[in-house]
Every structure is written in C-alpha cells, then in structure tokens.
Amino acid sequence: MIGWLTIVSAFSLFLLLIQVPATAILLSRLFKGPLRHPPITPQHPTPELLGSVSVVVPTLNEALRINPLLTGLSQQSYEVREIIVVDSNSQDGTPDLVKAAQKQDPRFRLITDDPLPANWVGRPWALHNGFLYSSEASEWFLGMDADTQPSPGLVAGLVKTAVAEGYDLISLSPQFILKYPGECWLQPALLMTLLYRFDPAGINTEQAERVMANGQCFLCRRSVLVNVNGYTSAKSSFCDDVTLARHIAASGFKVGFLNGAKVLKVRMYEGAKETWTEWGRSLDLKDASSRSLLWGDLWLLSAVQGLPLPIVLSFFCFSLTLWRSQGTAPTLLLSPLLLLLGLNLFLLVIRFAMLFAIAPSYDRTLAKGGWLFWLSPLADPLAVLRIFLSAFRTPRKWRGREYS
C-alpha cells in the first residue's frame, strides 16, 4: 500500500505543476474585472451621427429567425444610413421577408453575393460583398448576424461609445437566449472556455493576438476596413470576426470588446445537440491563433476548467477506498494530494462565482429546465473535450455550406 501511496503522491505533484501556473494566469485575468468598461446602454442619436452607419447582414436560409433582427434594425434611428442584407441564395423565403421589411423601411436593401470562391468561407465572403456595396459616405460599417435581436438605441450607443473611447473597431458580447434543458446545461460551459482564455469583456487587451471579437455585432470604421482590404485577411477563417479583429489590432488600430447584454440578444442554436455541434466548430479559434497559442489555451483550459471536477471526485473515491481497505484517512505522505484537493476546490469555487457573475448574460425567462444553468459547471469536462476535438479538425460543413 505504501508503494501505491507514493505513486499517488508523485502524481499529485505532477498535477500541481500543471495547475498552479494556470491558476495564476486565470487569477491575473479575473483581477482585471473591476477595471472593465461598463456595459453598453441604449442611447439617442445626435445630429452629427446622421447617416453615419451602414449595416450589413449576411443570410443563408434564416427565415425562421431573422424577423426579430429586421424589426430591431427598423427601430434604429437616423444614424443608420442603410441596411444591406447579403443573401447567399436562400431557399426558405428569407429574401421575401427582407423585401417585406423594405416596403416598411426603405433603408433595407437586398443583394445576392457572387458564387463563393474556392478559398473563401461563406460568412466573410458575404460580409466582404456587403462592404464593397455599402455607401462610401458612411463613416462606420456594422456587421450583424441574422440571429441577433437589437434593442432600440443599440447603434447610437455603439457609435457614441466608439467615438468617446477612440475605438476603431468595437464588438459586443450579447445576452444569450436559452430555451431547452440541454443547452441550459451545456452552452454556459462552452462559452465559459472563452472567459478562462481571455480578458473579460470591457478590458482593453494590449496584445493583438489575444484580442477577442464577436461578429454578431461588429462595428468598424469604414476607413479601417478600406485600409485592410475588407475581409480578405479573414477569408478562409471559420472565426472570421476574431481573425479580422486581430489583424486590425496588429495594424495599429484600437479594438474593443465590450459587454452588450443590455442592448443585444441572440438566439443561436436549438437544443444540446446543435449547441455541441455548431458552437464547438469555432470556439477553439484555431484559425485566428498560432499553434503555440492554441496549445497554450488547451493547457490552460485543461488545468483550470477541465480537471478540477474529476480531480475532486477522484479524491473522494480514493479516500473512501482507502478508508474501507485500511480503516484510515490519507496520511501525511499524501500531503501533495491534500494540496491538490485544496487547489481544485478553490477552482470550483471560482467557477461557481463566475457562473453568478455571467448570469445576466443569459435570458432564461422562457427556458424549460432553466435551473440546469446552475449545474453547468458539471459540463466543464465535456466543454473542454469539445474544444480539443475541434482544435484538430477542419470544419467540412458550416451554416448550410459544405467545404472541401
């Protein structure tokens, strides 16, 4: 038995060597929380914003979810010059819904993008076409996704914040709408992987390669997009928003990623299966990261999000087995194991504290089984596994398109 205890003690030391540095990195990021920029709030436009924004929305078979976006964009004021919907030959009636909206609001324009080139992903291709088609008189380009639900005053609030803070590019983290039990449990764990890897929303990240962005609401100075030749730097990326934002940051422009839960909601995927399949394809951010950064992120996620729950459960199973076989608790020989237990209990406390902190970023008012949100830390090992699986696979299908 002493031999086994020695092995367990040595393995505990090994895990501590992996987890302690990762925990220090995590804490250094969490300590930045009080310095965050406050959440974006709806604002009324002022005369200098007149016609300053061109909105571009890429669509492909979005008829079941685009209406809230069309309604929300119609409620934006005179700061929006035009709303360009770039459709990729939808077959479900999406263009008809846009044409109906155009009858009520002449700012809507519907175009069809050219056939997808071999070296482009569909979403950046549509956004690039929309950028080329948009008015040169607009100072700002705003890319939005069909599954978003903007509040009145969103665009004015975005532009005013960008001008006041000197941002050349600003994107928002939204409030996510949850409906079904599986996604209430799994989606918060998947999105938590971003909070572990990057600075909180509202912190100005100095390193371009660590910049975060969200293409669901992506405001950029038109002159900056001209400077970087539109979306060409992100043409083959399945996380084009982050890829483009990091390219823009590396070019010397100021990029911000802020909390938009008060002005923007989104309903992305239906149920746990779709959440697992679709969210997992891009959350690894491998298209926007070097191989060394990707491996570093995988180590960090494993150490501080994936391992704590299994380690704590394994400790109690081991202690119970030892108690039954020897009639005694772990001895001083297992002090590394006790240190490991303390560290991982600490990490679990942090995890549940973060869950309370992000609760306002989820709309669970209509959710079935919404209480499962509070059990989402139990899905952390699965979430980290999903990032690993995605990190070493190139997507073959994305948003209704197939890629070779």
Instruction: Express each pLDDT in 316-351 by its tens digit.
Output: 887 777 666 665 555 545 678 889 999 999 999 999
Domain count, the chain: 1
pLDDT at 209 over 60: yes
What's the domain range around 27? 1-404
When pLDDT is cut at 50, 70 and 90, the band that residue 398 belongs to is: low
For residues 25-48, average pLDDT:
92
pLDDT for the residue 332? 47
Q: Measure the CA dihedral 42/102/169/211, to 10°.
A: 90
pLDDT for the residue 204? 87
pLDDT digits (tens, 9 = 90+) for 106-163: 999 999 988 889 889 999 999 999 999 999 999 999 999 999 999 999 999 999 999 9
Least confident segment among 241-250, 326-335, 378-387? 326-335
**Which CATH number goes with the domain that contains 23?**
3.90.550.10
pLDDT digits (tens, 9 = 90+) for 43-91: 999 999 999 999 999 999 999 999 999 999 999 999 999 999 999 988 8
